[in-house]
Structure 1
Amino acid sequence: MRFVGIDPATRTGIVALNLKGEVLVEMELKGKGPAGAMSTPQLVDLENQLYKLLLKGDLIVIEDASAGTQKGITTGMVHGGLRSMIYRRELDFDISNAMWTKKYVGVKVEKGQTEKQKKDAIGAAVLEQFGYSHKSHNVVDAYIIARIALNLYLMRNYEPLLDNERHQVEVVQGIMERAEVG
């Protein structure tokens, strides 16, 4: 059993953990094709890469599109395409929103912060809390999401969580409640 976190984007982060929280897979996926806007061949290649990495029995959490994203069409294509790959693999998934990903590691977005400052703060928090780092911020986000997937499984099975900070438990409970409603 693996716990998979996916941070969808034109460069998609994916991390798979085992039950102990050890990293089994950590990659950044990018569809092959010409530079520029996401083309259909690039999207299909990205989807196929994800499809090949997913295994029967994977428990998946995928990050939802950020509210107010500036690239709505591309975001919709990537998120929808990757979700359809998960579905084609006959796997279920839960959804975490971008704010929950930040909250899970205790990062609060400050007014006026640049995207780089936000990503640097998240990377520093992950390194401090879990001893994990990666050159790609998409993979770092996917690592957080994979930890959410693992703790979601533990909570659903009434087992002790690996991550017990109040804000982490609130995120996992929030995803559970949303799944029960949806």
Structure 2
Amino acid sequence: MRFIGLDPSTKTGFVALDEDGQVLKAKELKGVGSADPVRMITMIDDIAAHIQKEDIIVIEGFGFATQQGIQLGGIGWGIRMALTRRGFKYIEASPSQVKKFATGKGNTKKEDMILPLFRHWGFEHSSDNVRDAYVLAQIAKGLKTVDTNILTNEFTTYQLEVLAAINNPPIKKKKAK
């Protein structure tokens, strides 16, 4: 079993951890060439080729405040469709849950996640996409291995809150017409 973190973007972050949380693979997947849709197709195919049968996959949810919404939506949905087509299940974590899991605050800037990642896990990488994917892989590990009702030395209170929120998402109320 591996724990996979995917941060969908024009350069998608991919991290695979083993059962002990050791990094097996940490890289940016970019696709072939520079012209879309070929670049997007080859990147999505590459992502799917990295996934194995027993993987626990956590993918970052859509960021709705981005200026590249259409392109990132296409990539994000393309990855989800490729995984689903191949029979893989995945769990989504919102961008704010990723930030909170790493830092304790859901509105942290990308550059302010570097030091907390190193302090928590000793992980460093030059790509913010790979750093986010690393946190997503740690979330996957936590979802599989931790009882969120029990405080452990491995996870902080705010990390347990994120895991509990992913396991038990709030019920959305329907809007009145």
Q: TM-score, normalised by structure 1?
A: 0.86
Q: Does 1:88 align with 2:85?
A: yes
Partner of 1:153, secondary structure, is helix
Give, as a single letter, the amino acid of the residue that structure 2 aligns with 1:24.
L
Give, as a single letter, the amino acid of the residue that structure 2 aligns with 1:76.
G
Find the counterpart in structure 1 of residue 46 from structure 2: 49
Take 1:60 and 1:180, find their aligned partners in 2: how far apart are those partners?
Answer: 23
Moved more, 82-91 or 155-164: 155-164
| CA deviations over 1:68-94 (Å, ceiling 9, x no partner) | 221111011010011112112211000
- 1:28-107 to structure 2, matched below 5 A, reads 28-34=28-34, 39-107=36-104
Take 2:18 and 2:44, find their aligned partners in 1: how far apart are those partners?
Answer: 23
Larger helix proportion, structure 1 or 2? 1
Q: 1:100 to 1:163 in 2, by over 3 A?
A: farther
Contact 1:47/1:81 (<8 A) preserved: yes
Moved more, 85-94 or 164-173: 85-94
Q: TM-score, normalised by structure 2?
A: 0.88
Show structure 1 runs of 5+ residues with no match.
111-117
CA RMSD in angstroms, aligned pairs only? 2.3
Take 1:49 and 1:158, find their aligned partners in 2: how far apart are those partners?
Answer: 37
Q: Does 1:26 align with 2:23?
A: no
Contact 2:148/2:163 (<8 A) preserved: no
Find the counterpart in structure 2 of residue 114 from structure 1: none
| Identical positions, percent | 33
Show structure 2 runs of 5+ residues with no match.
173-177
Q: 1:14 to 1:78 in 2, by over 3 A?
A: same
| CA deviations over 1:19-55 (Å, ceiling 9, x no partner) | 11101111100022226xxx11111001111011000
Contact 2:11/2:28 (<8 A) preserved: yes
What is the number of residues matched between the two proteins? 171
Take 1:74 and 1:68, find their aligned partners in 2: how far apart are those partners?
Answer: 13
Q: Does 1:174 align with 2:165?
A: yes
Take 1:84 and 1:76, find their aligned partners in 2: how far apart are those partners?
Answer: 12
Contact 2:5/2:134 (<8 A) preserved: yes
Take 2:88 and 2:149, find their aligned partners in 1: how far apart are those partners?
Answer: 22
- 1:1-12 to structure 2, matched below 5 A, reads 1-12=1-12
Take 1:74 and 1:171, find their aligned partners in 2: how far apart are those partners?
Answer: 28
Q: 1:165 to 1:8 in 2, by over 3 A?
A: same
Q: 1:92 to 1:42 in 2, by over 3 A?
A: same
